[in-house]
């Protein structure tokens, strides 16, 4: 009636959405959009998912589209890769990426290399997704970050979301991509609400794979991170801002292919760099960023050596106080920034 009277309707405002609900929306929209898309994994159907990411999808789409599997990662990952080779679009959920080591041969030797080894005649449009990195109190065998592991492998695309918009946009883009994509989520972010813009509420909202986002503008130092550590960087930037230090915070979003251009452009402005990640230091994401910077033109703009803030180089302890000291905290980022700026 308002439209008939020529009145302008107000646009939907931004809303608060948890990462869990954003992932659920993305799966629902893509299952509805393309009948070739299906979800499989342990407890994804009748139980609604171990982390309730697939809540309601089995009842809506049925047994052929949302499939509970036995506890056999090598088996159901292989089934998913085979399905992708005949141009279905499986979403293969690992209850945690620690269990993906049971299926790593399927992910790397089958999915990642098939297109190259077939001279481009076989595509593998598959998404491997699930929680990655440290959770809370789950000790060494369940607390590893696989960003560097899978980011090392040509043939894969690797994404690592932070916010609800990241989660929804990257998952939809990954499902639509014709290449195998590894999506590394954070269990500790599933219940965290983030603001979701009007644009992100659209069913056609996707985030380009391979493009980082500047979450906060700054002039004194560049902080580069991914996944949950982006939030720590934002908190550290707020603390440092009160002391007159303005940090530019870059959310990588994608590990492979890495958007080093956005990092270099920021460095040209700030002349300082700190990388932050929850994974181990040796051969890590931060190590790759620093190497790329060293080899590129932005190195000439550095006024001080770049520094990495990483997880401790030990298996994750079970005790909470030790766990907290193994994961980068806001105070560690603040300390690193002050060290680089010599303040």
Convert the pLDDT of each residue in 193-250 to its tens digit: 999 999 999 999 999 999 999 999 999 999 999 999 999 999 999 999 999 999 999 9
DSSP letter at 51 equals T
Do 159 and 266 lie in a common domain? no
Cβ(132)–Cβ(147) under 8 Å?
yes
Do 139 and 220 lie in a common domain? no
In the annotation, is 73 catalytic? yes
Do 254 and 330 lie in a common domain? yes
- pLDDT level of residue 12 (50, 70, 90 thresholds): low
- CATH number of the CATH domain containing 335: 3.40.50.920
In the annotation, is 152 catalytic? no
Among 142, 220, 226, 232, which one carries the catalytic annotation? 142
Do 242 and 170 lie in a common domain? no
Residue 127 to residues 95, 177, 226, 247: CA-CA distances in angstroms? 14, 9, 19, 34
Do 283 and 148 lie in a common domain? no
- Does 5 have pLDDT greater than 60? no
- Does 6 have pLDDT greater than 80? no
Cβ(154)–Cβ(118) under 8 Å?
no
Do 36 and 180 lie in a common domain? yes
User: Domain for residue 8, yes or no?
Assistant: no
- Domain hosting residue 145, numbered range: 15-201
- Does 131 have pLDDT greater than 80? yes
pLDDT per position as a tens digit, 57-96? 999 999 999 999 999 999 999 999 999 999 999 999 999 9
Do 155 and 243 lie in a common domain? no
pLDDT of residue 266: 98
Handedness of CA 117, 119, 120, 123 (dihedral sign): negative
Among 73, 185, 277, 288, which one carries the catalytic annotation? 73
pLDDT per position as a tens digit, 291-316? 999 999 999 999 999 999 999 999 99
SS3 content of the chain, % helix, strand, coil (to 5): 40, 15, 40
Domain boundary among 142, 175, 201: 201
- CATH number of the CATH domain containing 173: 3.40.50.970
Do 49 and 185 lie in a common domain? yes
Q: How far apart are CA 147 and CA 133, in angstroms?
A: 9
Beta-strand pair 221-225/273-276: parallel
- pLDDT level of residue 8 (50, 70, 90 thresholds): very low
- Does 24 have pLDDT greater than 90? yes
- Does 13 have pLDDT greater than 90? no
Do 183 and 75 lie in a common domain? yes
User: Domain for residue 171, yes or no?
Assistant: yes
Q: How far apart are CA 244 and CA 265, in angstroms?
A: 22
Do 165 and 281 lie in a common domain? no
Nearest one of 53, 85, 84 to 66, comparing CA atoms: 53
Do 175 and 239 lie in a common domain? no
Do 129 and 252 lie in a common domain? no
Cβ(182)–Cβ(218) under 8 Å?
no
User: Domain for residue 239, yes or no?
Assistant: yes
Domain count, the chain: 2
User: Domain for residue 240, yes or no?
Assistant: yes
């Amino acid at each position: 009636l308002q439209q008939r009277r020529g009145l302008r309707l107000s646009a939907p405002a931004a809303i608060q959405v948890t990462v869990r609900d954003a992932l659920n929306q993305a799966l629902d929209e893509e299952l509805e959009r393309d009948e070739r898309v299906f979800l499989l994994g342990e407890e994804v159907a009748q139980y609604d998912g171990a982390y309730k990411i697939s809540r309601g999808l089995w009842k809506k789409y049925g047994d052929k589209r949302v499939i509970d599997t036995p506890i056999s990662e090598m088996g159901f990952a292989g089934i998913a890769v085979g399905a992708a080779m005949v141009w279905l679009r499986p979403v293969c959920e690992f209850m945690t990426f620690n269990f993906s080591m049971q299926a790593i041969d399927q992910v790397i030797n089958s999915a990642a290399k098939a297109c190259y080894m077939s001279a481009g005649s076989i595509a593998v449009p598959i998404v491997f997704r699930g929680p990655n990195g440290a959770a809370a109190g789950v000790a060494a065998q369940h607390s590893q970050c696989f960003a560097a592991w899978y980011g090392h492998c040509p043939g894969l695309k690797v994404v690592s979301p932070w916010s609800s918009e990241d989660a929804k946009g990257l998952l939809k883009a990954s499902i639509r991509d014709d290449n195998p994509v590894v999506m590394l989520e954070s269990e500790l972010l599933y219940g965290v609400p983030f603001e979701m813009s009007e644009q992100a509420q659209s069913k056609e909202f996707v985030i380009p794979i391979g493009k980082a986002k500047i979450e906060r503008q700054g002039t004194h130092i560049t902080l580069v991170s991914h996944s949950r550590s982006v939030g720590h960087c934002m908190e550290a930037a707020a603390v440092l801002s009160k002391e007159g230090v303005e940090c530019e915070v870059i959310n990588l979003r994608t590990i492979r292919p890495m958007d080093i251009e956005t990092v270099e452009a920021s460095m040209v402005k700030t002349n300082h760099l700190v990388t932050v990640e929850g994974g181990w230091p040796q051969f890590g994401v931060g190590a790759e960023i620093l190497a790329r910077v060293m080899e590129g033109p932005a190195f000439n703009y550095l006024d001080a050596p770049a520094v990495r803030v990483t997880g401790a180089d030990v298996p994750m302890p079970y005790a909470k106080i030790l766990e907290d000291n193994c994961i980068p905290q806001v105070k560690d980022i603040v300390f690193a920034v002050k060290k680089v700026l010599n303040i």
